[in-house]
Amino acid sequence: MEKIVVLTGAGISAESGIATFRDANGLWEGHDMYAVASPEGWHRDRELVLEFYNQRRRQLNTVEPNAAHYYLRELEDRYKVTIITQNVDDLHERAGSSHVIHLHGELRKARSEADETLVYDWTGDIVLGQKAADGAQLRPHIVWFGEAVPLMEEAIKETITVDIMLIIGTSMQVYPAASLIDHVRPTAPIYVIDPNATKLPGYTNAHIIRKKATEGVIDLGL
Ligand code: OAD
């Protein structure tokens, strides 16, 4: 079986009703990114940070995977598929995808603020005073700006052996996630699905499909 790696971003969940970060009306328009998504913000105002992610987690209960998530699951019938997502939602899993790497963490997990290996499944709110087994405050299991991306090495390992690379719904502005494209062999085709995608100069193997995720995947013909 040929191997497909899919790098997804907020755009793949947009048609499920989850706002992206950098589009008009995106999350970073209404929120100070560093106040809610950095270690400094966390130390300044834990309640503000918890509430931001509690809202996102509550919203997850109100949305469903869309046709693009299901399409990626169906690809598993014909290809060996790994999804590397920057998204913290669980819509890939709910659509049935079996191999998902969450580069930026997961909303439905909480962890100790002192020990990043103490991770718990979490569906409700996280509130101030809720402690992990080590006695430290629980925080969202999210990779914030300025923090290391522990799964990056695994993501690179998956990407260097790819036969076909798909990139869906990401502005490719956040590193190191965006640098994954540099690990694709020059002979492997890269398909980019994003209504606002721009050309990727230097990547002669890249094909741009300027459409929404649910429409763009149909054009792939895979
Ligand atoms: P962005 O908000 O930066 O980019 C979303 C992309 O989705 C844009 O390129 C849009 O054009 C595209 N888009 C919008 N609607 C779409 C649709 N229906 N179908 C396909 N594409 C669509 O989101 P990301 O690139 O995911 O990190 O952002 C990367 C990281 O920045 C996030 O993981 C998050 C954020 O700060 C952290 O919070 C650590």
CATH of residue 54's domain is 3.30.1600.10
Average pLDDT along the chain: 96
Number of domains in the chain: 2
The pLDDT-based confidence of 25 (bands split at 50, 70, 90) is confident
Distance from the alpha carbon of residue 14 to the mean position of ligand 1, in angstroms: 9
- 69 and 3 within one domain: yes
- Indicate whether 81 pLDDT > 80: yes
- 154 and 185 within one domain: yes
Query: Would you call 112 exposed, middle or buried from its count of C-beta atoms within 10 A (0-12, 13-18, 19+)?
Result: buried
pLDDT of residue 24: 82
Distance from the alpha carbon of residue 118 to the mean position of ligand 1, in angstroms: 28
By alpha-carbon position, which residue is closest to atom 18 of ligand 1? 212
**Ligand 1 pocket at CB < 6 A:** 9-11, 14-15, 20-23, 26, 37, 86, 104, 143, 169-171, 173-174, 193-196, 212-213
Residues 6+ positions from 163 with CB-CB distance below 8 Å: 2, 3, 4, 188
pLDDT tens for residues 39-52?
Answer: 999 999 999 999 99
Domain of 93 in residue numbering reads as 1-18+65-104+148-222
- 161 and 197 within one domain: yes
Residues marked as catalytic: 104
- 3 and 89 within one domain: yes
91: amino acid identity, one letter: L
Distance from the alpha carbon of residue 204 to the mean position of ligand 1, in angstroms: 24
- 202 and 137 within one domain: no
- At CA 135, angle to CA 41 and CA 38, rounded to 5? 15
- 117 and 45 within one domain: yes
- Indicate whether 112 pLDDT > 90: yes
pLDDT of residue 30: 84
By alpha-carbon position, which residue is closest to atom 9 of ligand 1? 171
Residue among 174, 192, 199 whose CB has most ligand 1 atoms within 8 A, to mutate: 174
- 57 and 34 within one domain: yes
- 209 and 100 within one domain: yes
Q: In whole angstroms, how far apart are CA 180 and each of 3, 35, 84, 185, 216?
A: 16, 27, 10, 11, 21
pLDDT tens for residues 156-212?
Answer: 999 999 999 999 999 999 999 999 999 999 999 999 999 999 888 788 899 999 999
Please, how many CA atoms are within 13 Å of residue 90, restricted to the half-sphere of its CB?
Answer: 16
pLDDT of residue 200: 82
The C-alpha atoms of residue 53 and residue 183 are separated, in whole angstroms, by 32
The pLDDT-based confidence of 29 (bands split at 50, 70, 90) is confident
- At CA 11, angle to CA 7 and CA 12, rounded to 5? 65
Distance from the alpha carbon of residue 200 to the mean position of ligand 1, in angstroms: 17
- 178 and 122 within one domain: no
